[in-house]
């Protein structure tokens, strides 16, 4: 089912009609038709300056209204992807191939068109609020920064507009609260403040980089419920990056599994978690269910990763042919890359 929504006035002549995909269109290049409304990543390759591969090649597309989860253990390249999207790659990491675009605007080409998208239509909720918030600025200054840059709003106008959002997030909008500094908030309040900052310009796509890692289980669930409510109310699309499969199963319609900087499997969340085909995905599911396993080992450093499938050294089904590692099988949004996939029971 497709629902079209008339969008608000767009900067730089960008089309603003929205699409909400409630079913996946497998077998056709539907996203290519709506490229200007998608976050599109084509053949992205990130490397160290010495040529060691860190992430990719990676293909990914996300339309507003879709909920995509990017899962994998630490070191898989999830956060590097977010840093590439927002142009803040760590020193020594280079974008050596492929392209990134949002709403048809290249994110890897500097200029005012890109600057008009980042922070406004494409927003980021970081993993660690303490690193994203300035200890020298009061809360009001954090909340009014992006509206001042992208909407030319005064602090007074921006705070008045954001008051209902703050109430929705459980944050006071009075001066006594807004004059506080980040260190005077609880962990949950800091995370909700980062969410309010990300939503301050009414974005179309939200990138959430493990936003619940520092929260206790009750606060995690409350934050998840809040994000899902806002996603439904605003028609948001989001890319939720996590290593928590239980959370991903609740938050996302579709999942993409990364390991060692390579995509291994993708598909609808319910199908991928109930009948995984890649051995690594199956191991993630077993670990989430606290099931015992004979598998051992760890993710090697980038310079020590083997030829072929990066999961090979840990895989119980490894064969010699895994060193060649053929191309991705099936549809980009529902397929895998594995020489010996697990059989789905009838």
- Say if strands 53-62 and 67-71 run parallel, antiparallel, or are unpaired: unpaired
pLDDT tens column, 55-104: 989 998 887 789 999 998 888 888 899 999 998 899 999 999 999 999 88
DSSP H or E run through 327: none
pLDDT tens column, 317-343: 888 888 888 888 888 788 898 888 888
Integer Cα distance of 269 and 131 in angstroms: 31
- For 19-25, what is the mean pLDDT? 35
Please report which confidence band the pLDDT of residue 345 belongs to, taking 50, 70 and 90 as the band edges.
Answer: low
* Residue 72: closest CA among 300, 259, 231: 259
Locus of tokens 């969410």: 195
Size of the chain in residues: 346
Q: Which two tokens stand for residue 60?
A: 């990914």
Q: Report pLDDT for 8.
A: 36
Domains and CATH numbers, the chain: 2-121+201-336 (3.40.50.300)
Strand partners, 327: none
* Residue 201: closest CA among 11, 6, 2: 11
User: Is the pLDDT score of 20 beyond 70?
Assistant: no
Q: Which residues contact 59 (CB under 8 A, 6 or more apart)?
A: 41, 42, 43, 44, 263, 332
User: Is the pLDDT score of 201 beyond 90?
Assistant: yes
Integer Cα distance of 191 and 127 in angstroms: 9
Integer Cα distance of 51 and 46 in angstroms: 9
pLDDT tens column, 220-270: 888 888 888 888 888 888 899 988 888 888 889 999 999 999 999 999 999
pTM of the full predicted structure? 0.82
């Amino acid at each position: 089912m497709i629902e079209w929504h008339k969008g608000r006035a767009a900067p730089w002549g960008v089309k603003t009609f929205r699409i909400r995909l409630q079913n996946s269109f497998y077998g056709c290049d539907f996203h290519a038709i709506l490229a200007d409304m998608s976050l599109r990543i084509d053949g992205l390759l990130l490397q160290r300056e010495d040529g060691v591969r860190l992430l990719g090649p990676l293909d990914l597309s996300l339309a507003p209204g879709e909920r995509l989860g990017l899962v994998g253990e630490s070191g898989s390249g999830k956060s590097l992807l977010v840093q590439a999207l927002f142009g803040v790659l760590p020193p020594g990491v280079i974008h050596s191939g492929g392209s990134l675009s949002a709403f048809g605007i290249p994110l890897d080409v500097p200029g005012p068109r890109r600057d008009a998208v980042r922070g406004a239509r494409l927003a980021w909720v970081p993993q660690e609020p303490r690193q994203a918030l300035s200890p020298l600025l009061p809360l009001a200054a954090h909340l009014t920064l992006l509206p001042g840059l992208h909407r030319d709003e005064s602090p007074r106008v921006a705070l008045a507009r954001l008051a209902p959002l703050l109430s929705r997030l459980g944050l006071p909008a009075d001066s006594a609260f807004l004059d506080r500094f980040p260190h005077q908030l609880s962990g949950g309040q800091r995370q909700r403040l980062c969410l309010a900052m990300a939503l301050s310009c009414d974005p179309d796509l939200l990138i959430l980089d493990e936003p619940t890692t520092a929260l206790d289980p009750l606060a995690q669930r409350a934050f998840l419920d809040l994000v899902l409510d806002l996603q439904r109310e605003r028609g948001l699309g989001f890319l939720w990056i996590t290593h928590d499969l239980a959370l991903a199963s609740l938050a996302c319609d579709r999942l993409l599994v990364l390991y060692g900087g390579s995509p291994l499997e993708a598909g609808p969340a319910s199908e991928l978690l109930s009948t995984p085909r890649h051995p690594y995905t199956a191991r993630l599911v077993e670990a989430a269910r606290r099931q015992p396993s004979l598998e051992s080992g760890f993710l090697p450093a980038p310079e020590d990763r083997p030829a072929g499938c990066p999961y090979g050294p840990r895989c119980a089904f490894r064969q010699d042919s895994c060193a060649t590692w053929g191309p991705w099988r099936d549809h980009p949004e529902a397929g895998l890359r594995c020489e010996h996939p697990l059989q789905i029971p009838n």
